[in-house]
Structure formats: structure tokens, C-alpha cells
Amino acid sequence: MESIYNIFAAILVLLFFNKVLDEIVTTGSPNLDLSTIAWAFGKLDRVIVTWVCMFTSTSVLIYLAFNHWAHHRHTMPVLYDVVAGVLYVIYLCLFMYLPPQSLLYYDLPTASSFIVLCEQVRMFMETWAFVRSNSGRARSYKKNDDASSNGQNTSILCPDFSHYLYFLFAPTLVYRDEYPRNESCDWQKVLNDLGQVVGCLFYIHFLFVRFCVPVFQRFGRESFNGTTLLVGMFSCMFPGSLVLLCSFFAILHAWLNAFAEMMRFADRMFYKDWWNSTSYARFYRTWNCVVHDWLYEYVYRDIVNWQRRQGEGCIRLRYLPMLVVFFISSVVHEYILAFAFRFFYPVLLVMFGGFGVAFMFVNTKARKFNIFLWVTLILGTGILMCLYSMEWYSRINCPPTYVSVPLRETCVS
């Protein structure tokens, strides 16, 4: 892992000097032009306001409502369950509706929109995990239990707020009352991890400015054909793969480890050796263990348990839980991209929800399949980066009357 890290650091240094040399030759001065990254992360004050509102509702509102329901439902179970269920669904709908409206109202740029949307999805998942994990306590509580336990049962109907608050900041999406904890926090490691996140952001910036912008910035002003598409795809494969790996390292390694260290969170299994996967099934299980654990715990297992309760006929649909998991994951990914880019262009939805599902049925443990996996990952990231870049610059360069058809974009005068 350290060798791979050093290789990527060396590539970043070379890209930096390449950019400096190019600016000196073109303009006569080493102008790095960080305007793109400054624009992408603009309006951070609006982002903070939106985040505080989301976090307040997720932490305070959800906990107070759940605590009240847990301690009083035994008096009128049916009424409390119906009212609480309706209010919970309304809250989740509003939580999915209001943050996107906020970023549209403030017209947040791309990276700032990604922050709001990813945090919205994270808090939604944590809300679901908390309610789903603890609702069974209240439902199993009986009114006469206090008489046999001297009132001690009421203390476990709802966890302490400190447990819930810790869960909201801990780098996990699966709720537990207690997590393994380290004895101390190494703040030097925290600063090092956060510094690596910043370094990855500049890394991705250089990749886009050096390889993406020059290829696509005039797209929509010039004629388009199949050759242009092929050249664009293959020119995006190298930078697209680096963007994928940098994003993985920045989020799933550096960012999560920084918060784990700050929270003294001992379970650091955020990913496994997905790069050695010999099947797509193993790749999906090891690429992002944090999200995978949530999907397995609160979607896959619940559907399997529901199938068992329905009987033999439903159990035979053994691929249903997996297909539901893929559908939810692909829709959420496309939802984030659509609101961040301000257009719906379901390339990722088709590739992840279509080809990604199909590759799951390729059942093999042959080492050579790892080559196929890497080829498809590199090809897929190149296609994604190419098509989304084409769509982005077409909407910038084209007149208001705009026609967009997959694999062909035309400006209409």
C-alpha cells in the first residue's frame, strides 16, 4: 500500500511540474490558475447553513421524536405506531426534498452540491439505521414489564443521546450502542489524513484541467461524430482511472480514518483488498465496506427475512434482494450526479444498474478475471468521464434551445 501511495505522489509531482512548465511556455509565468477548484467549492457559507439544518433535524428532532414514541407507545400501541409511522414517512420525504431545493435555490457549484447531497444521503441512512435498530426494543416492551423489573426496562427503550450523537460522527452507517474504542487520539495522524484529502483534491483538479478541459471545452461548438466520441473516451481512460482511485483514497481511506482517529473509533475496516478481486461479487463487497454493511444489514437481510415469512414461493426469488440492493444503489448514485451537475443523464444508472448487475452473474475465481475487472473499470470510468464532460460543456456552449440524446449532442440554433 505504501508503494502505491508513493507512485501516486510521484505522478502528482510530475503533473504539477507539467502544469507549471506549460504555463511558463504559454504565458511566460508559472500561473497555476486555481480558479476552477475555487469555483467548484464556492458558497461554502451556504453549504454550512444547509448542513447545520440537516444535522439539527437528524440529531435533535429524530431523537426527541423517537424517544417520546419509545417511552409512550405501550399506553396506546396502535395509535402511537400509526401516527409515528406517518410522521416518520413525512419527515423522510421532506428530508429528501428540502436539501436539493436548498442547493438549487442558492445555485451551489458542483463540489459544494456534492457535499450537501452526500451528507444528505449519509444522514438519511443513519436515521434509518437508528430507527430500524432500536424500534424493536420499544415494540417488544410490555406495560407489565416495569412491575417485574422495578422500572429498569424503561431505561433501555431508547439509547442515550450521547450514543446516538457518537454514531452520527463515527465513520459507520450501522448503529450499535457501543463500538470498539481506542484509548487515545493521535492528532498528528488526523492532520496527516486531512492533508492527504486536500492533496487528493488538488490531484483531481490537475487531472481535470490537464486532460479533461482541453478535450471537451469546445464541445458543442464543433461537429460531432463517432470518431470524436471514441477519441474522447480513450483520452479519458487514464485520467478517469486516476480520479476514481484518488476519490477512493481521499474518502474511504484518508477522510474516514481521520474521523475514526478523532472519534477513537477502533474498527477501521472501511474497505478490503478489492484490487485483488477475481469476481465482481467480491469487488462490490470489498470496495466500500461502510455502505455495503448498511445495504446488507438494513436492505438485503430484511428482504430475505420477509421472503422467509412469505413461504416457499417467495424464497425461490433468491435474486430479488440483490437486485433491490443494486437498484437502490444505482438510483442514489444517479440522484447525486443529477442534482450536482444539474442535468439527468443516466449513464451511470445504466452502467451500474445494467452491466454491473450482469457481471455479478459471472461466477469465477480465476486470477485472470482480475485483469478483466481492471479493464472494465478503466473502460467504464473513461466512458463516464467522457459522456458527462460532453454533456456538461454542451450545455455551456449551446444556445438555450438544446437537444440531448445519448451518445449524440447537438446544438440547435
Express each pLDDT in 180-239 by its tens digit.
Answer: 999 888 999 999 999 999 988 888 888 888 788 887 877 767 666 777 778 778 888 888
End-to-end alpha carbon distance in the chain: 52
Q: Say yes or no: 62 and 165 in one domain.
A: yes
Query: CA 77, 136, 158: angle at the middle one, nearest 5?
Result: 85
Q: Quick check: is 123 in a domain?
A: yes
The Cα–Cα gap between 121 and 131 comes to 16
Q: Is residue 344 a part of any domain in this protein?
A: no
Q: 67 in a domain, yes or no?
A: yes
Tens of pLDDT, residue by residue, the chain (413 residues): 566 677 767 777 777 777 777 777 777 766 667 788 889 998 999 999 999 999 999 999 999 999 999 888 888 888 988 999 999 999 999 999 999 999 999 999 999 999 999 999 999 999 999 999 998 888 887 665 554 455 455 557 888 999 999 999 999 999 998 999 998 889 999 999 999 999 888 888 888 887 888 878 777 676 667 777 787 788 888 888 888 888 999 999 999 999 999 999 998 899 998 888 888 888 999 999 999 999 999 999 988 888 887 776 665 677 888 889 999 999 999 999 999 998 888 888 888 888 888 888 877 667 788 888 888 888 888 888 888 888 888 888 775 554 444 444 455 44
**How many CB atoms within 10 Å of residue 392?**
20
H or E element, residue 369: helix 369-397
Note whether 15 and 128 are same-domain residues.
Answer: no
CA distances from 212 to 26, 32, 389, 393 (A): 18, 16, 8, 11
6 and 41 in a common domain: no
The count of other CB atoms within 10 Å of the CB of residue 346 is: 16
Residues 51 and 164 in one domain: yes
| Amino acid found at 1 | M
- What is the rounded radius of gyration, in angstroms, for the C-alpha atoms of the chain? 24
> Does any domain span residue 342?
no
Q: Same domain, yes or no, for 2 and 98? A: no
C-alpha torsion 192→195→199→205, nearest 10: 150
Residues 9 and 53 in one domain: no
| Same domain, residue pair 89 and 3 | no
| Position 275 in a domain | no
Residues of the domain holding 58:
33-139+160-169
Catalytic residue chosen out of the listed positions 71, 72, 163, 333: 333
Identify the three-state secondary structure at position 32: coil
When the pLDDT of each residue in the chain is averaged and rounded to a whole number, the result is 84
Q: Clarify whether residues 63 and 18 are in a common domain.
A: no
Residues 41 and 129 occupy one common structural domain = yes
Task: Give every CB contact of residue 179 below 8 A, 6+ residues apart in sequence.
Answer: 166, 170, 172, 265, 266, 267
Q: State whether residue 123 is helix, strand or coil.
A: helix
Name the domain boundary from 127, 149, 169: 169
Residue 333 bears catalytic tag: yes
Question: Which among 84, 80, 66, 184 has a CA at the least distance from the CA of 126?
Answer: 66
For residues 62 and 134, membership in a common domain is answered with yes
For residue 131, being part of any structural domain is answered with yes
Widest pairwise Cα distance in the chain: 85
User: How many domains is the chain partitioned into structurally?
Assistant: 2
Within a domain: residue 10? yes
Residues 86, 121, single domain; the answer is yes
Residue 169: name the closest of 59, 83, 27 by CA: 59
Check whether residue 165 and residue 48 sit in a common domain.
Answer: yes
Tell me, yes or no, whether 99 lies in a domain. yes
Q: How does pLDDT run across 93-118, given as a tens digit for each residue?
A: 999 999 999 999 999 999 999 999 99
List the Cα angle 213/219/222 in 5-degree steps. 135
